[in-house]
């Protein structure tokens, strides 16, 4: 009997956690925490879990959560094209932990941007950068189609012709890998207008540059001395110099909003620690504020 009840118990606990999460952010707007068919996990490549440094991270505990959080700010204006910021958390984290620790929703509200925030669950509290189904060909396209379908189902979108507009890919730390895969084969690379790497350029520089060369969107890379991204960031800048590509390289504390608005390739060196680069100085808010995304209050 206990075995029969366990799935129902787990489902009830998950629903209670989602309700609590949604209530916490109700003062700022509407948070939808739900399960997606197209979410990163589960995925066949992690059906047996994942081993890191001789420790097994079982699939049931770390690769079975298909949670996706979608946040719609108060005052959101539905237009024909809906803009999105899709944020990917790093190692040893969750959707709830990411929202709480890095105050993504609070920073979005402060930016005043008319955009929907989407945060999918990656490897659940595991040291792993794998992006699951979002690394599959057209996996991101299917994911975003489910986002739109969910917004319609929840009556957030009322216009029949509302569709995906501009997309910002944002990721901290290990989130880089799924972002690179999305740009290369996700099916919506032309819709991606900006890429934000929060101490996350560990590899895949060629994929980020290939996207930039084709789409000429804004790419911001903020990197630290001790987060493991300094060498790759400097190597990428050296490559750009050899190519004769113009970019902005400046200390994070000295960059101006106008510089962030006018430059398409930005490298920000910071004295912050690895886990401080998203929220400590409200960097996520700053990148939002200086983006091309529309304001909630139309000018």
Q: What is the pLDDT of residue 15?
A: 58
Residue 176: which domain range? 2-289
Would 257 be classed as within a structural domain? yes
Q: Which of 86, 88, 94 is nearest to 70 (CA)?
A: 86
Measured between alpha carbons, how far is 50 from 40 in angstroms, rounded to an integer? Answer: 15
Tokens of 157: 């979108």
Q: What is the pLDDT of residue 237?
A: 98
For the cut 70, the answer to whether the pLDDT of residue 68 exceeds it is yes
Average pLDDT over residues 13-37: 85
Would 28 be classed as within a structural domain? yes
Q: For residue range 234-251, what is the model confidence (pLDDT) as tens digits?
A: 999 999 999 999 999 999
Average pLDDT over residues 101-120: 98
Number of domains in the chain: 1
Residue 48's DSSP bridge partners are: none
For the cut 50, the answer to whether the pLDDT of residue 1 exceeds it is no
Would 294 be classed as within a structural domain? no
Average pLDDT over residues 24-53: 97
Residue 267's DSSP bridge partners are: 221, 249
Would 115 be classed as within a structural domain? yes
Is the preceding peptide bond at 124 cis, omega within 30 degrees of 0? no
Would 159 be classed as within a structural domain? yes
Averaged pLDDT of the chain: 94
Would 295 be classed as within a structural domain? no
Would 61 be classed as within a structural domain? yes
Would 123 be classed as within a structural domain? yes
Domain CATH number, residue 146: 3.40.50.1820
Q: For residue range 267-279, what is the model confidence (pLDDT) as tens digits?
A: 999 999 999 999 9
Average pLDDT over residues 75-99: 96
Q: Predicted confidence band at 7 (pLDDT cuts at 50, 70, 90)? A: very low
Taking residue 25's Cβ as centre, other Cβ atoms within 10 Å add up to 18
Q: Which of 5, 18, 76, 67 is nearest to 41 (CA)?
A: 67
Place of tokens 């929202």: 99
């Amino acid at each position: 009997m206990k075995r029969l009840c366990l799935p129902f118990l787990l489902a009830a606990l998950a629903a209670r956690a989602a309700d609590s999460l949604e209530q916490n952010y109700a003062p700022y707007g509407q948070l939808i925490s739900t399960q997606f068919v197209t979410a990163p996990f589960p995925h066949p490549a992690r059906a047996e879990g994942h081993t890191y440094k001789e420790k097994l991270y079982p699939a049931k505990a770390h690769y079975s959560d298909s949670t996706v959080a979608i946040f719609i700010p108060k005052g959101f204006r539905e237009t024909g094209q809906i803009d999105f910021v899709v944020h990917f958390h790093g190692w040893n984290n969750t959707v709830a932990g990411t929202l709480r620790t890095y105050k993504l929703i609070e920073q979005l509200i402060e930016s005043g941007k008319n955009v929907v925030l989407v945060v999918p669950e990656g490897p659940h509290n595991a040291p792993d950068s794998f992006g699951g189904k979002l690394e599959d060909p057209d996996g991101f396209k299917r994911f975003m189609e489910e986002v739109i379908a969910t917004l319609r189902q929840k009556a957030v979108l009322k216009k029949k012709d509302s569709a995906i507009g501009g997309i910002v890919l944002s990721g901290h730390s290990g989130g880089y890998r799924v972002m690179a895969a999305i740009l290369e084969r996700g099916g919506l690379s032309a819709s991606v207008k900006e890429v934000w790497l929060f101490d996350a350029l560990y590899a895949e520089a060629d994929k980020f540059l290939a996207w930039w060369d084709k789409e000429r969107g804004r790419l911001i890379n903020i990197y630290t001395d001790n987060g493991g991204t300094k060498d790759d960031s400097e190597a990428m800048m050296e490559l750009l110099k050899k190519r004769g590509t113009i970019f902005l390289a400046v200390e994070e504390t000295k960059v101006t909003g106008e510089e962030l608005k006018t430059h398409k390739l930005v490298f920000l060196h910071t004295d912050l620690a690895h886990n401080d680069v998203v929220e400590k100085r409200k960097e996520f808010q700053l990148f939002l504020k200086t983006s091309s995304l529309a304001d909630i209050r139309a000018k």
